[in-house]
Amino acid sequence: MAVDEKELPWLENLYQRGLTNGLKIRMVDPDEMHEIEPVVQGISGIYVPVTGIVDFKRVASVYAEEITDNI
């Protein structure tokens, strides 16, 4: 999400990288952002419907176990 004009090039770069990597994403304007998440405030954003929440500490722990077991 961009909250001011100077962040728009960064957001566009991130959006293009997402498209290059095959993500089904789209740019959203402030009205669409508000529909998706009412407390968000910005001038532009990227909607990524396939995101999820991950317990990274647990993921890293499992990777460490697998690496240690295969040494």
pTM: 0.69
Ordered DSSP codes for 13-36? HHHHHHHHTT---EEE-HHHHHHH
Give me the pLDDT at residue 42, please. Answer: 96
Instruction: State the 10-residue block means of pLDDT for the chain, 71 residues long.
Output: 96 96 95 94 94 88 92 78
Give me the pLDDT at residue 31, please. Answer: 96
Q: 33: exposed, middle or buried (C-beta count within 10 Å: 0-12, 13-18, 19+)?
A: buried
Give me the pLDDT at residue 54, please. Answer: 86
